Amino acid sequence: MFGFGSKSNLDNFSVKSLRRARIDEEVKYDLLMGSLSTANSKYEGYKLAGAQRDRSDLEIERAALEMSSWAKKRRSTLKQIRQTQSRTRVLDSLIQTIENKEMLKQHGIWAKLEKMKPEDLMKGVVKIATANKESDEKLQQLNNALDAGLDDIVIEAEKDTDEQKAIKEILALRNKS
């Protein structure tokens, strides 16, 4: 999955190499986020250009074609971002597992992990990553519930740019009618 080959057990992984692999994933993520930003900007730019009143049908079709192309790029990039995030969570789980080796040995878990086949070990690490992610989401939900008492003006100010763009598009369509 990460180019480590068929490591027979967790002892064959070094935290240093896993951290290096995690940094590689962070760099990929940053590059993909830049690509996503470009795709979003291009999509919006062609939409605005095509929406100008003096545009011919041919120019509108061209803008729509470009928008479609950039929408596909966005979807592809988002898929790659999700894959990168997933690999990063798995690497984090491997690092966490190896760093907690002594505690896991005390509870007899390390011996079980050492006996696992590499593919089963990866499945286990993915489960740990999923459990960590679910835990993070629960903490975020709790945080959101505690923040629910914020003033409406603060909530309005914190809306992300995509939501603000969506609102503008909706209002623009409503004003055209």
CB 80 within 8 A of CB 32: yes
Task: Say which range, 5-19, 33-47, 90-104, 138-152, has the weakest mean pLDDT.
Answer: 138-152
Average pLDDT, stretch 132-153?
64
Helix ranges (DSSP H) in the chain: 15-50, 57-99, 101-106, 109-115, 118-147, 152-157, 161-176
**Structure confidence at residue 144 (pLDDT):** 66
Distance CA 159, CA 123 (A): 37
Mind listing the pLDDT tens digit for each residue in 12-38? 788 999 999 999 999 999 999 999 999
Mind listing the pLDDT tens digit for each residue in 69-95? 888 999 999 999 999 998 998 899 889
What number of residues does the chain have?
177
